[in-house]
Amino acid sequence: MLLGQKILLVIGGGIAACKCLDLIRRLRERGASVTPVMTRAAEEFVTPLSVSVLAGQKVYRDLFDLTDEAEMGHIQLSRAADLVLVAPATAELMAKMAHGIASDLATTLLMATDKRVMIAPAMNVRMWDHAATRRNLATLKEDGVLVAGPNEGPMACGEIGPGRMAEVYQIVDAIGHALVCGPLRNRHIIVTSGPTHEPIDPVRYIANRSSGAQGRAIADALAGLGAAVRFITGPVNTEMPEGALVTRVKTAQEMLEAVQGALPADAAVFAAAVADWRVAQQATSKIRKDGSGRPPGLEFVENPDILATVAQMASGRPRLVVGFAAETDDVIANATAKRKRKGCDWIIANDVSPETGILGGAENDVTLIHGTGTEDWPRMTKELVAHRLATRIAEVLNG
């Protein structure tokens, strides 16, 4: 199941480090190779010799070990893997990862890697519940780090609650899911989502009612098929997708810059409800009533069209560019014209008239418009729309 997969295993310093011996054995049984890296603290719980024997490889321990640098530098070590697994991920390791602290070999590898990273947290229940760990976990998730566990139950320290490292079989399953199950493995896909906020003055802005639910579901579905997803979102209150690298923006211009910074990509899905216009001159202080009863005159300029910009790139264009068309009348005709005008491959058209309940709702009713016709999909949840779209994208990219 994991045949030929290369796992770089960073073993942190906690009692759960003992489970790593079994973890290495199970990963190798499934055909993976395991390159172990141990922190100093991990060596207090399990010996490098036993780790090395079970892994069938030397254990990397020290950033300044010149022999290792001569054999394989830490950058190369971090990139030779298909996945970097941190188990147990202690509160300290999570904090260092969240803050980009590279103070030893393990944390330097984690900063240098361009591969997927999974953590299996293990710590005392109060440490797990601590506000600092909550913050670090949220940051790591937004950085696209995958999280296996922790489980609830009695812990080595005598307390009961969440904080036990996930069982070995659960970690192995999660790795299998992240590495193998996806037809979009090794594909990089950009998803824009949510509204944009266009400032008028320091306290006011122009926005729209997009909840970001459809974009988030699409990012979730693509990541679920193994894609490396860059999720670029305007201000929303929804949870961020699992396993996607999140970039938060406010304005259309920021969104365009984030998209350009995330290229190249195999595909791009533009689900964001980008404001068409922004105020030409943002006031530097709050606009006040002047007593005349006359409202202030706001001058607007057009925002960059992110979808059209990417779809019409002369070189480096993603193979598949997908746009959305939220319409209130003549849905198909308008969306078909929009596909042509913007130069994208597909348009997902939907009717967002208030009576449909789609904007801000849980369901969507879409038509996929491509170069050779239209496909009317039945009304279904936004998650199912996302799944169907992700599957279709996988077919195109693998076709």
Closest to ligand C5P by CB, 163 or 323: 323
Distance (Å, whole) CA 365 – CA 368: 10
Q: Where are the beta strands (DSSP E) in 12-164?
A: 33-38, 83-89, 116-121, 146-147, 151-154, 160-164
Of residues 115-144, those binding ligand C5P (CB under 6 A): none
Distance (Å, whole) CA 38 – CA 61: 5
Q: How far is the CB of 304 from ligand C5P (least distance, A)?
A: 6
Distance (Å, whole) CA 263 – CA 5: 27
Q: Does 306 bind ligand C5P (CB under 6 A)?
A: yes
Of residues 323-382, those binding ligand C5P (CB under 6 A): 323-325, 338
Tell me, by CB under 6 A, how many residues bind ligand C5P. Answer: 15
Closest to ligand C5P by CB, 60 or 324: 324
Q: Which of 60, 128, 231, 270 binds ligand C5P (CB under 6 A)?
A: 270
Closest to ligand C5P by CB, 325 or 394: 325
Q: How far is the CB of 230 from ligand C5P (least distance, A)?
A: 15
Other Cβ atoms closer than 10 A to 115: 14
Whole-number CA gyration radius for the chain = 24
* DSSP code of residue 227: -
Q: How far is the CB of 198 from ligand C5P (least distance, A)?
A: 11
Q: How far is the CB of 354 from ligand C5P (least distance, A)?
A: 17
Q: How far is the CB of 217 from ligand C5P (least distance, A)?
A: 15
**Piece of the chain touching ligand C5P by CB under 6 A; list 15-23, 225-233, 272-280, 373-381:** 272-280
x/- track of binding to ligand C5P for residues 250-269 (CB under 6 A)? --x-----------------
**Piece of the chain touching ligand C5P by CB under 6 A; list 97-105, 159-167, 297-305, 372-380:** 297-305
Structure tokens at 208: 């729209």
Under 8 Å between Cβ of 228 and 280? no
Distance (Å, whole) CA 122 – CA 12: 9
Of residues 189-248, those binding ligand C5P (CB under 6 A): 192
Distance (Å, whole) CA 210 – CA 272: 8
The dihedrals phi and psi of 189, each to the nearest 5 degrees, come to -130, 135
Under 8 Å between Cβ of 7 and 74? no
- Residue in 55, 78, 103 with CA at minimum distance from that of residue 8: 78
Q: How far is the CB of 338 from ligand C5P (least distance, A)?
A: 6
Catalytic one among 20, 157, 181, 344? 157
Q: Is 18 a catalytic residue?
A: no
Under 8 Å between Cβ of 176 and 188? no
Spell out a b/e string for 241-266, using b for 16 or more CB atoms within 10 Å of the CB, else e: bbbbbbbebbbbbbbbbbbeebeebb
Under 8 Å between Cβ of 55 and 203? no
**Piece of the chain touching ligand C5P by CB under 6 A; list 98-106, 113-121, 133-141, 298-306:** 298-306
Residues near ligand C5P (CB under 6 A) are 192, 252, 270, 272, 274, 276, 303-307, 323-325, 338
Query: Would you name the residues annotated as active-site residues?
Result: 157
